Amino acid sequence: MSVRKLKPITPGQRFRVVNGFDAITTDKPEKSLLAPLKKSGGRNNQGRMTMRYKGGGHKRRYRIIDFKRDKQDVSATVDSIQYDPNRSAFIALLTYSDNEKRYIIAQNGLQVGQKVTSGTKDVAPEIGNAMPLSQIPLGTIISCIELRPGQGAVMARSAGTFAQLMARDGKYATVKLPSGETRMVLANCLATIGAVSNSDHQLLVAGKAGRSRWLGRRPRTRPVVMNPVDHPMGGGEGKSSGGHPRSRNGIPAKGFKTRSKTKSSNKYIIERRKK
């Protein structure tokens, strides 16, 4: 993992920091695992804009990722580590012993030619293997964690993220999540050993506004410069501040807790995330 700082031969490259892509082994995706990806531009089924500041961007094709890891107790070989335009992490192409191919989220340190397995029978807690939380040693760094058995990975999936298995008590395991929150998860949920790849993603610098346009992000208007009819923080003469930071709907930002006090999953959270 490395990043490269470019020489400023153009204004847009003066502060640009790019990924070294050392871990990437091929630039050709597996055709059988590609699907079309339609863009909405922030519009709903009536064609009305329901999400602002979205639209444009480069055309992409979706890579079908195996988040469930439900091909159990069958050994697979890592064919290649690839770039995925739809996520910050890298992905790994697996070929199983019966010649089926699948993509998974690549873990940090996953190498081409390495064998990975998912399941419960004689699976060692090694990088890339998916196991139930009940069989993973305490203190292990994990990622791609299920919240419900068979649901597929939903937590700790973005670049460089990881969680830690802290304890087990009865049918629940205690996991410290990337946000800092500590919560209980059913011990028969699957998790993958190791942290997610591309940990240098946070060091990248776009260098110019056009790069955001390539990613499908349109320019965002600051609420302070809007009119009162458009936003609670709008209005005023000159550079007057917009009052207390809040959303377009009037909900305060920066520290205001929006989580419901009666939410059913509150009982599973042992410690809330730090501010």
Identify the band that residue 239 occupies on the pLDDT scale cut at 50, 70 and 90: confident
How does pLDDT run across 5-51, given as a tens digit for each residue?
A: 999 999 999 999 999 999 999 999 999 999 999 999 999 999 999 99
User: Is the per-residue pLDDT at 85 higher than 90?
Assistant: yes
Nearest to 95 by CA among 87, 103, 86: 103
Query: Beta strands of 153-200 (E only): which ranges?
Result: 163-169, 172-176, 182-186, 190-193
How does pLDDT run across 198-232, given as a tens digit for each residue?
A: 999 999 999 999 999 999 999 999 999 999 999 99
Nearest to 187 by CA among 136, 238, 223: 136
Residues 6+ apart with CB under 8 A from 222: none
Q: Is the pTM value of this prediction over 0.95? A: no
- For the chain, domains (ranges, CATH) are 18-42+54-202 (2.40.50.140), 223-262 (no CATH)
Radius of gyration over alpha carbons of the chain, in Å?
Answer: 22
Nearest to 231 by CA among 205, 211, 258, 249: 249
Helices (H), the chain: 210-214
pLDDT at 243: 84
